[in-house]
Structure 1
Amino acid sequence: LAVLLNMTKSAISHQLRELRDAHLVKSRRDGKVIYYSLDDKHIEDIFEIGLEHIRHIDDKSK
């Protein structure tokens, strides 16, 4: 994730903590690995609406 977003691991960790504190994502630990997912169905719906909006804007600009 850090490489993909061109950010340090520390910055990614900080952002994920902020998202978790805002109840936008939840985390699950499996040994040394922490898995993150959207917190609930409501957040998933909001995320999907945001993606739909971005796709709509991209389609209009072509």
Structure 2
Amino acid sequence: MMLTSQEDACEVTCVHPEAVLKARVAMPDTGCVDNASALLKAVADPTRLRLLSALNTGELCVCDLSAVVGISESAVSHQLRLLRAHRLVTFRKEGRIVYYRLLDQHVTALIGSALDHVRE
């Protein structure tokens, strides 16, 4: 449990109706919040974030991803299934090789922004 210090809370109770209304109007619906939360949980796993970061450089096959991240191909495939289920990556097959890439620019921006933020 996190205790609140004096700096974390208002010293008096006051509500700013215009600001509250503006925030409520901008608030996404519950389904959207739940889906976004699930997506961020998927990205929050260190192994999955490393896979996404590797894919941020371009398309890679499962074997390449295994070599980059340092886990088994089976473990990579398992994580990629999860990332695919959250619509973060997509794939294509070329013969017996499966290549993965980030789904779209939103995912690229999400990964880039998260990493840029922690580097600052």
**TM-score normalised according to structure 1 size:** 0.75
Residues in 2 aligned to 1:43 and 1:3: alpha-carbon distance in whole angstroms: 22
Residues 1:25 and 2:89 are matched in the alignment: yes
RCO higher in 1 or 2 (8 Å CA, sep ≥ 6)? 2
Aligned length: 56
Q: CA deviation at 1:37?
A: 0.8
Structure 1 residues 42 and 2: CA distance shift in structure 2, 3 A: same
SS in 1 for 2:98: strand
Query: What is the identity, as a one-letter code, of the residue corresponding to 2:110?
Result: I
Q: Which runs of 5+ in 2 are unaligned?
A: 1-64
Return the index of the structure with the highest Cα Rg.
Answer: 2
| Counterpart check, 1:40 vs 2:86 | no
* TM-score, normalised via structure 2 length: 0.42
Regions of 4+ moved over 4 Å: none
More strand by share: 1
Q: Deviations over 1:7-54 (max 9, x none)?
A: 221111100111011100010111111111111111111111012123
- AA paired with 1:51? L
Q: Which moved more, 1:1-10 or 1:25-34?
A: 1-10
CA RMSD of aligned residues (A): 1.4
Q: Which runs of no fewer than 5 residues in structure 1 stay unpaired?
A: 57-62
